[in-house]
Structure 1
Amino acid sequence: MPVFDSASGPQKLTRAELYEKAWSEPMATLGPKLGLSDTGLRKICDKYHLPTPPRGYWAKVAVGQRIKRPPLPKLPASMRGSEETVIVFHQPPRPAPKELVAQQAEDDYPAGVRRRFEADPENRIVVPAILEQPHALVASSVLLLRKAKVDEDLRLRTRGLKCVALKVSLSAVDRALRLYDALFKALEARGHRVTLVTNDNETSTVVHVDGEQVGIEIQEHVTRTEVPPLKPQTGWYSKKYVWEATGRLTFVLTESYLSVRGKWSDGARQNLDEMLNDIVFGLGDAADAIKSRREAFERAERERQAAEAKRREAEDRARRARGKARALHQEVRSLQQSLAVREYVAAMRSAADAANLPPEHELRAWLEWAEEYADRLDPTKALRVPDDPDPHAEYRTAWNSPSPEPERSSWWQRPWYNR
């Protein structure tokens, strides 16, 4: 909403009021509220010696960093006076740009709500310096990791242990468990759930976010250096390496191909201890991506099943049509045969009458049987829908169809009768 009404005439702000507004929200959103562009508002701040947030300030605030802002300086002697400390805005409020409106609309969605919640300094996740009263999964993992052995790459071997997912060295396991402890407690405080899932002797750590399961793991970056042989080797030899643990941890999502951020690592300016809020927000993004992907798969499966049902229905219609055609051809042949038999019987009776054959002659008995046979062939006597005379023709054709004879390009490969 605009800060002032354009119908009420010019509006005034003191330097202190404009200073507070400039450090409360970005220039891109504050400018339209004051009827200016962000560049025009920045020029006014420079004119009245007002410090403004530097580039990247709001991005750092969004991840929970606290940056000290410079104090409001005094005006030069030439600008002092009550009339100079009042800034007058004559322009009417400008509508917000389309991209800003879209961003504000996006902030109203659950992702925007999560982003604002995690960016609030009051909700910052703090990693404890000492692991006291740990989460139940972390506490059980501590006992199990005491039995873990160290692999060649200096990382603990956790396969077969029902503990949190870790690929770290012995020197970094304490910090990794403290990160897990702070993260698990924060997730449960936000209404999520963390469980351990065992499959094929491999235990994975799964976060349940909005009904979706997101796998997580903490890894440590280790360096590998090849040890040169003491003397030149002429044949094959086994290379030897020296491994070194760096202490740099990385939090990864084990689910791949989600098109969202899936890795957070220690860096030169920021480490994982300061990224837990961003990780929690990223888990929500991953859950949304998993849900979208699952819904896309389900939608594609429904479409495939619908297409398959449509194809089968079309095949059934075509199969029934071919069966009806066979029945029709059979009925036509039967009618033609019936008419031919009756024509034969009529012709033979005429010939028998012309020859004055007695009624007890065997030919007359034969003609009576032939006439009965014509009635049995005649489909007009039954007045019913005929059945398919060969309902298994489709399957028999598919099963018993002869394989095509291979082509013979050379003359000696051809049968002797074609030479």
Structure 2
Amino acid sequence: MTKDNMAQKFTRSEFYDLIWSKPLTRLAKEFGVSDVALHKLCRKHDIPKPATSSRAKIATGKMVERPPLPALKKGVSDMVCISGSALRTEPETIATIRDEATSRASKFNAEKDAKEHPVVTRSMAKLRKARPDDRGLVRLTQSGLIDIAIAPASIDRIELALNRIVSAAEIQGFDLTKVERRVAFTDGNVVVPFRVVEKTKRAKHEPTAKERAKQAEAQRTLEQRWGKAGLGPAPSSGVYPRLPKYDYSPSGIVSFEFDLLICHNPSARRTFNDGRNQRLEEMANEIAGVLAGLTAAKIEDERRDEEAEKRSEDNHRRRIEHKRRAYIEDRRSATLEKILAIREQRDRLRRLVADISEDTDQPQSQRTSAFQIWLKEKLAEAEEAASGMALDRLLETENLFGGNDDKGFSPHKSSR
């Protein structure tokens, strides 16, 4: 193993030994990543990991039989790298919930303790009466039934798997119930819909003898019509009944998919597929454990969203308050300019009256005397306009310094 500030590196053999030595949830804590990330690394590097039934034994230190490490395939790296840049970390609360779910799962034997659930029974009964579509699948989209599309040959096995999954989910505190139109798991706080889908195989369509006969008949009919119309030779392509390019058929590989988006961790595991070593009916405890983890992640998602919304609202309030204060300051400054202009006009008149009065030793004309009388009247007006009472009236008119300085303010208008 090598380790640096950014990543921890293991050979496939070292990592294989590591994941069989202790529970993945405990390893995830040690690495500071989610156990989902470790599952992905195992798939990426073709490393077999312990089944759900084996994890409880590993947690208690018991020896379990493990499959051999497959030979290195072409295109698969022999070096497993765990880096913060490649894997998402998760809050301690979610890791704890995963651990608790694993502990509960270890006490439940899905193969022995699973019970039939009425929703599963009704859904499978309806599915058995449905007609396969052009891909060989029977589908349910009816309100109150499970969202499912599988081949008739898979019904019995998937009924078994669903009853095990529902029973394992009940141990984790989840009920299977109808929420609005969909059937979903819920713990009373979070609703987790799901679907079950069988993958299909695709093969190039080979025309049947009946289809060839129809094509030949269509060609003869076309040639007759063209001949009667005097249009010359009929086209030999593009006029036959259209045939499908591919044929689709059920693959027998079924996936169980939780329909729940985790915005802050979109890569969180939500899908389980039939594999070479494990089928859906053997994954009940694992699926139920992931359900518990997804629910916790969704709650964490909502908490983060609430915090982000609160920060956004606080920032918005601060921006509005900043604009309001700027608006008030602009109004006050504009009124101050008015007051300064009034006082400056008064002071200029005072100086002029005083200067003219000093020239009393000079003879004054009638015009000058009349100007002085008018000037003193203007000074009296300026003195009154600059008085304390006039200042109070101006501030009242402008709605300033009385607790309503922001009168007329709108956050949608520019303050400057």
Q: TM-score if structure 2 supplies the norm length?
A: 0.58
Q: Does 1:272 align with 2:250?
A: no
Please report the RMSD computed on the Cα atoms of aligned residues, expressed in angstroms.
4.7
Cα shift at 1:225: 2.1
TM alignment of 1:204-215, pairs within 5 A: 204-209=182-187, 211-215=189-193
1:63 to 1:266, Cα distance in 2 relative to 1, 3 A: farther
* Residues in 1 aligned to 2:239 and 2:350: alpha-carbon distance in whole angstroms: 99
Find the residue that maps to 2:136 and give its secondary structure.
Answer: coil
1:353-396, Cα deviation, whole Å (9 max, x unpaired): 96597xxx98787556534421342154545483379989998x
* Residues in 1 aligned to 2:51 and 2:205: alpha-carbon distance in whole angstroms: 48
* Residues in 1 aligned to 2:237 and 2:111: alpha-carbon distance in whole angstroms: 54
* Residues in 1 aligned to 2:307 and 2:101: alpha-carbon distance in whole angstroms: 28
Corresponding letter in the other structure for 1:242: D
Find the residue that maps to 2:146 and give its secondary structure.
Answer: coil
Q: Which residue of 2 aligns with 1:97?
A: none
Q: Does 1:195 align with 2:195?
A: no
Q: Which residue of 1 aligns with 2:100?
A: 113
TM alignment of 1:2-17, pairs within 5 A: none
Q: Which residue of 1 aligns with 2:257?
A: 252
* Residues in 2 aligned to 1:141 and 1:220: alpha-carbon distance in whole angstroms: 16
Q: Which residue of 1 aligns with 2:197?
A: 219
Cα shift at 1:197: 2.9
Judge conservation of contact 1:64–1:124 (CA < 8 Å) in 2: no
Q: Does 1:291 align with 2:299?
A: yes
1:380 to 1:56, Cα distance in 2 relative to 1, 3 A: closer
Corresponding letter in the other structure for 2:151: S
* Residues in 1 aligned to 2:171 and 2:51: alpha-carbon distance in whole angstroms: 26
Q: Which residue of 2 aligns with 1:33?
A: none
Find the residue that maps to 1:218 and give its secondary structure.
Answer: strand
Cα shift at 1:302: 1.8
1:221-278, Cα deviation, whole Å (9 max, x unpaired): 1112231566995799664332211222211111245433222222222211111011
Cα shift at 1:182: 3.0
Find the residue that maps to 1:109 and give its secondary structure.
Answer: helix
Corresponding letter in the other structure for 1:222: T
Q: Which residue of 2 aligns with 1:124?
A: 109
Judge conservation of contact 1:335–1:379 (CA < 8 Å) in 2: no
* Residues in 2 aligned to 1:219 and 1:58: alpha-carbon distance in whole angstroms: 22
Q: Which residue of 2 aligns with 1:182?
A: 164
Judge conservation of contact 2:102–2:289 (CA < 8 Å) in 1: yes
Q: Which structure has the higher relative contact order (CA within 8 Å, separation 6+)? A: 2
1:13-33, Cα deviation, whole Å (9 max, x unpaired): xxxxxxxxxxxxx8789xxxx
* Residues in 2 aligned to 1:276 and 1:250: alpha-carbon distance in whole angstroms: 13
* Residues in 2 aligned to 1:349 and 1:107: alpha-carbon distance in whole angstroms: 91
Q: Choose the corresponding residue for 1:329, options 312, 330, 337.
A: 337
* Residues in 2 aligned to 1:271 and 1:135: alpha-carbon distance in whole angstroms: 20
1:369 to 1:193, Cα distance in 2 relative to 1, 3 A: farther
Q: Which residue of 1 aligns with 2:17?
A: none
Find the residue that maps to 2:173 and give its secondary structure.
Answer: coil
Find the residue that maps to 1:339 and give its secondary structure.
Answer: helix
* Residues in 1 aligned to 2:94 and 2:370: alpha-carbon distance in whole angstroms: 104
* Residues in 2 aligned to 1:378 and 1:107: alpha-carbon distance in whole angstroms: 71
1:95-144, Cα deviation, whole Å (9 max, x unpaired): xxxxxxxxxx9999332232123134xx1112899xxx842322443565
* Residues in 2 aligned to 1:128 and 1:227: alpha-carbon distance in whole angstroms: 46
Cα shift at 1:166: 0.9
Judge conservation of contact 2:101–2:172 (CA < 8 Å) in 1: no
Task: Name the count of aligned residue pairs.
Answer: 303
1:379 to 1:176, Cα distance in 2 relative to 1, 3 A: farther
Cα shift at 1:57: 6.9
Corresponding letter in the other structure for 1:113: E
Q: Which residue of 2 aligns with 1:163?
A: 145
1:147-201, Cα deviation, whole Å (9 max, x unpaired): 7554332333433543112122333234333332332233234432222234xxx
* Residues in 2 aligned to 1:294 and 1:146: alpha-carbon distance in whole angstroms: 40
**Greater displacement, 279-288 / 259-268:** 259-268
TM alignment of 1:24-103, pairs within 5 A: 61-62=54-55
1:305-349, Cα deviation, whole Å (9 max, x unpaired): 222222222222222222221111111112112333445566778
Q: Which runs of 5+ in 2 are unaligned?
A: 1-19, 24-47, 66-91, 216-235
Judge conservation of contact 1:342–1:374 (CA < 8 Å) in 2: no
Q: Which residue of 2 aligns with 1:315?
A: 323
Q: Which runs of 5+ in 1 are unaligned?
A: 1-25, 30-54, 70-104, 402-419
1:11-69, Cα deviation, whole Å (9 max, x unpaired): xxxxxxxxxxxxxxx8789xxxxxxxxxxxxxxxxxxxxxxxxx967976117899987
* Residues in 2 aligned to 1:243 and 1:362: alpha-carbon distance in whole angstroms: 112
Judge conservation of contact 2:353–2:372 (CA < 8 Å) in 1: no
Q: TM-score if structure 1 supplies the norm length?
A: 0.57
* Residues in 2 aligned to 1:168 and 1:310: alpha-carbon distance in whole angstroms: 55
* Residues in 2 aligned to 1:28 and 1:283: alpha-carbon distance in whole angstroms: 22
**Greater displacement, 138-147 / 228-237:** 228-237
* Residues in 2 aligned to 1:300 and 1:107: alpha-carbon distance in whole angstroms: 19
Judge conservation of contact 2:174–2:187 (CA < 8 Å) in 1: yes
* Residues in 1 aligned to 2:315 and 2:253: alpha-carbon distance in whole angstroms: 51
Find the residue that maps to 2:111 and give its secondary structure.
Answer: coil
Find the residue that maps to 1:194 and give its secondary structure.
Answer: strand
* Residues in 2 aligned to 1:228 and 1:293: alpha-carbon distance in whole angstroms: 50
1:244 to 1:212, Cα distance in 2 relative to 1, 3 A: same
